Structure 1
Amino acid sequence: MQYNTLEELEAYFKQEIRKVSEKELEEVRREIEKIKNKVVTELEETAKLNAKIIVDQELKEIDSDHAISLSRLADDNNRRLMAKRQELTEGLFADVRNKLLAYAATDDYKTMMGEKTRKLAQRFRADAVLIVGKRDESLLPELLRSFSEGTQGTVDPQIELGGFRLEVKKDRIIVDETFDSTLNEEREKFYANSNLIIG
């Protein structure tokens, strides 16, 4: 194609330059779009990763707070249960104590004391001490009749609920038939074997 004038030639160059420029611009736009998409994808991935890290960290903190709360709740619950167990146990043994005190005021109690001391008097003849509580001091002369003359009687204020203790010093024998000792032993057995386990 032939160009007759300088203007036609100039117009041709301009058009060619525009075509080449537009083509290069289109390639640059595509490259920019690719780079932009790549950067956006990377940013999205980074944001997702950061969000996952943050969410995981938040979940760990929530789990930790939850575990601490559960532990505190369990501790508080155990304390309340232990206090209730203690209250019920004390109530039970207070009832038993009151029943023993009531029994110690009956004629059946006096009969029981007489029978037990007579049986022991047959086994231990001399050099013994029969010990009763302050409440049973009036029974002491009667109880000592079963024993031989060498047996002495005394009062121990520590025996509150009833019963007696016989000490044979020569043979180093102590026969403890006090309700106080029996109740204490039963309390220890109860705590050891009650199956009132908190857990």
Structure 2
Amino acid sequence: MQYNTIEELEEYFKGEIERVSQNEIKKIQKEIENIKNKNIKELEETARSNAEIIVSQEVKSMDSEHAISLSRMADDNQRKLMKKRQDLINNLFVEIREKLIGYTKTSDYKEKMKEKISLLSSQYHSDGLLRLAEKDMSLADELLESFGGQITVKSDESIEIGGFILEFHQDRIIINETYDARLKEEREMFYANPELIIG
């Protein structure tokens, strides 16, 4: 399945979580109903043969057992849902990362980098330092042509996917246009979005 935008991926994720949650909830409700029916039947048989005080004790015991069982099942379900959510998030961001890596091999990527660098060089007029991923160093000459002022290019091991970091030391400005940083921000926003938290 292919996703063209982060929104589509988020919609897929929301749908998958909702489906898994509903299935787990239905299973829990069915188990609870079975336990309840079983316990009620046993209680009715006991009530016929025992005094009222014994029945009262059995009801208390059943309620306690039922509460413990319900709590245990809810905890188990929450753990399963959280693991499923984590697996989906991990798979989603691995897929996004692979698509971004694929994109960095296209001519569109190079053109987009040139446009951004040209735009930034028109906004900041001091000398700059351009940091690129080692794999993008082959684009350095073309990117330098897009820069209006003086610029030095350096490879940066922290950039794994692609993009660039542009530093203007005189202006004390660092602009991070890396896909690594963007993907990290998106992941943090994904976790922070309360609609995506399973309760």
TM over 0.5: same fold? yes
2:92 paired with 1:96: no
What residue number does 1:44 align with? Answer: none
- The DSSP-based 3-state class of the residue aligned with 1:165 is strand
* The structure with more radius of gyration: 1
- 1:179 corresponds in structure 2 to 179
Query: In the alignment, which residue of structure 1 is the partner of 2:131?
Result: 131
TM alignment of 1:78-89, pairs within 5 A: 78-89=78-89
Q: Secondary structure at the match of 1:145?
A: helix
Q: Match for residue 115 of structure 1?
A: 115
Tell me, yes or no, if the aligned pair for 1:129 and 1:153 is still in contact at 8 Å. yes
Match of 1:169 in 2: 169
Mapping 1:23-42, distance limit 5 Å: none
Give the superposition deviation at 1:192.
1.4
Q: Please report how far the alpha carbon of residue 194 of structure 1 lies from its aligned counterpart in structure 2 after TM superposition.
A: 5.9
Give the Cα separation in 2 of the matches to 1:134 and 1:51.
Answer: 83
CA positional deviation for 1:130: 0.8
Partner of 1:61: 61
Task: Render the CA deviation track for 1:87-125: whole Å, top value 9, x for unaligned.
Answer: 111111111111100000011111111111111111122
1:153-168 aligned within 5 A: 153-168=153-168
Query: Helix, strand or coil for the counterpart of 2:161?
Result: coil
Conservation of the 8 A alpha-carbon contact between 1:165 and 1:174 = yes
Structure 1 CA distance, aligned partners of 2:147 and 2:198?
50
Query: Aligned partners of 1:76 and 1:174: how far apart in 2?
Result: 46
Cα deviation digits, residues 21-49 of structure 1 (max 9, x gap): xxxxxxxxxxxxxxxxxxxxxxxxxxxxx
- Aligned-residue identity in percent: 53
1:114–1:143 Cα contact (<8 Å) kept: yes
| Cα distance in 2, alignment partners of residues 53 and 173 from structure 1 | 79
Q: 1:163 to 1:128 in 2, by over 3 A?
A: same
Does the 8 A contact of 1:126 with 1:151 survive in 2?
no
Q: Secondary structure at the match of 2:153?
A: strand
Higher-RCO chain (CA-CA 8 Å, sequence separation at least 6): 2
5+ residue gaps in structure 1? 1-49
Kept after mapping to 2: 8 A contact 1:125/1:147: no
Partner of 2:52: 52
Match of 2:113, as an amino acid?
Answer: M
Shift of 1:149: 5.6
Which has the larger displacement, 53-62 or 85-94? 53-62
AA in 1 matched with 2:83: A
How many residue pairs get aligned? The number is 150
| Alpha-carbon offset, residue 127 of structure 1 | 2.7
Determine if contact 2:132/2:159 at 8 Å carries over to the other structure. yes
Gaps of 5+ in 2: 1-49
Q: Which moved more, 1:143-152 or 1:95-104?
A: 143-152
Alignment partner, residue 76 of structure 2:
76
